[in-house]
Amino acid sequence: NEDRERAWRASRETKLETIPNCEACAKPTPEEVRGWAQSFDKLMKSPAGRNIFREFLRTEYSEENMLFWLACEELKNECNKHSIDEKARMIYEDYISILSPKEVSLDSRVREVINRKMQEPSSHTFDDAQLQIYTLMHRDSYPRFLNSAIYRSLLQSVSRSSSES
């Protein structure tokens, strides 16, 4: 228990915690907000969409899925070998390690692949895991998000503001 507590405290202080609470983005248009209901890909390609979906995931205690996905996206854009190694280790400690309080739910096959790839991390070390988490969010959380008060009230507010202009 003490080890888990220590790991939890350490992970709270990692550099990945510097991912801002929300991505900087413009206010979404009514068309954009409506588009999120048509496609999970549209939602995830939009910084505003990711922010509101992340807010929803926080209410479901599964925000770590979005944080992991964002960290993987950031890793994919890294070119420096030293930075790749460092970021991959932080992602592993924060989201893959069974000691992490923010551990994401992955099957054993994907975990084994990651453990092998961690010997020589690359910007694509977590691709299989990222796809699994993306699929989980799409199938599991996304339908509930579309029916949530968070999404419905945003839809209502952007529709109201567009009808007033």
CATH code of 64-148, in short, is: 1.10.167.10
Q: What is the pLDDT along the chain (165 residues), one digit of tens a residue?
A: 556 555 544 444 443 333 445 556 678 899 999 999 999 999 999 999 999 999 999 999 999 999 999 999 999 999 999 999 999 999 999 999 999 999 999 999 999 999 999 999 999 999 999 999 999 999 999 999 999 999 999 999 888 776 665
CB 101 within 8 A of CB 63: no
Residues contacting residue 49 through CB under 8 Å, at least 6 positions apart: 28, 32, 36, 42, 43
CB 75 within 8 A of CB 91: yes
Torsion of CA 39, 42, 48, 49, to 10 degrees: 30
Give the SS3 label for residue 80. Answer: coil
